[in-house]
Amino acid sequence: MSKQKSKNEDEPDPKVEMSVEEKLSQMVRLFSKIDTTESYDPLSIVLGCLSTAGYHRARLIHLTPFDRVIGGMQHILKILCPEVHKGYAWHFQETALPKTDKVRAIESVQILMALKKLDCPHHFLLGHMLEEKYELFAPVVDWCITQMHAAAIEHENYAEYSQFFGMDYESKEEAQKAFTLALRLPHLTYRNPSARMELFHPTIIRDIVANGSVVLNEYIHYAKTGQQIYPRWYSSDPAKYKPEDRKPVHPLVTEPDRVKLVAISRQYAREMTPEARRTMDSLLEIIDKMDIANIILDCDERLHAEADRYYESYRKHDELHDDYNMLQRRIDEFPSGNLDVMTKTFKNMNSRTDKIKSILAKEITATNEKIKTLNEKDDKGLNVKNCPAKKDEAEKLKLYCSDMTMRVADLSQKNKHLRDTYGKWKEFIMKLRALPPVNKSKKPDPNVPEFPEIDNGIADKLNALNNEVGINSLEKLTSLPRTSAKDDILLRDSYMAFTGDVILTLQDYYWKAKLMYDERREMCRYRDGLADHVKVLQQRLKSKREESPLLKDFTASLNKMKNALEMNEKVMAPVKTK
Count of other CB atoms within 10 angstroms of residue 53: 25
State the Cα torsion 60-227-237-304 to the nearest 10°.
-80
The residues with which 85 forms a beta bridge, in sequence order, are 88
Side chain identity at residue 210, one-letter code: A
Mean pLDDT within 150-179: 82
What average pLDDT score do residues 312-328 get? 93
What mean pLDDT, rounded, does the chain reach?
A: 82
- Angstrom distances, CA of residue 496 to CA of 51, 230, 253, 442, 500: 8, 19, 27, 48, 6
Task: Specify which residues 194 forms β-bridges with.
Answer: 197
Backbone angles phi, psi at 197, to 5 degrees: -165, 155
303 in Cβ contact with 515 (< 8 Å): no
Q: Which tens digits make up the pLDDT trace of 520-538?
A: 999 999 999 999 999 999 9
Query: Is the pLDDT at 262 greater than 50, yes or no?
Result: yes
Looking at residue 211, its pLDDT comes to 92
Residue 311: band (very low, low, confident or very high) from pLDDT cuts 50, 70, 90: very high
Cα–Cα dist 218/231, whole Å: 11
pTM of the model: 0.75
- List the one residue out of 213, 222, 212, 229 whose CA is nearest residue 265: 213
> In 3D, which of 461, 475, 471 has the Cα closest to residue 506?
461
Residue 10 has pLDDT above 60, yes or no: no
Do 75 and 192 meet the contact criterion of CB atoms below 8 Å apart?
yes
Going through 330-489 in order, the beta strands assigned E by DSSP cover none
CA pair distance 289, 212, nearest whole angstrom:
9
Over residues 494-523, the mean pLDDT reads 89
pLDDT for res 446: 67
Tell me what percent of the residues of the chain surpass a pLDDT of 70: 84
Share of the chain above pLDDT 90, in %: 32
The region that residue 455 occupies, defined by phi over 0 for left and psi between -120 and 50 for alpha, beta otherwise, is beta
Evaluate if residue 154 carries a pLDDT over 80: no
Which of the four pLDDT bands, split at 50, 70 and 90, describes residue 323? very high
pLDDT band at 37 (very low <50, low <70, confident <90, very high): very low
**Residue 110 carries which side chain, given as an amino acid letter?**
Q
pLDDT for 194 equals 52
What contacts 317, CB < 8 A, 6 or more positions away?
A: 523, 526, 527, 530
Residue 350 scores a pLDDT above 90: yes
Q: What is the pLDDT of residue 32?
A: 41
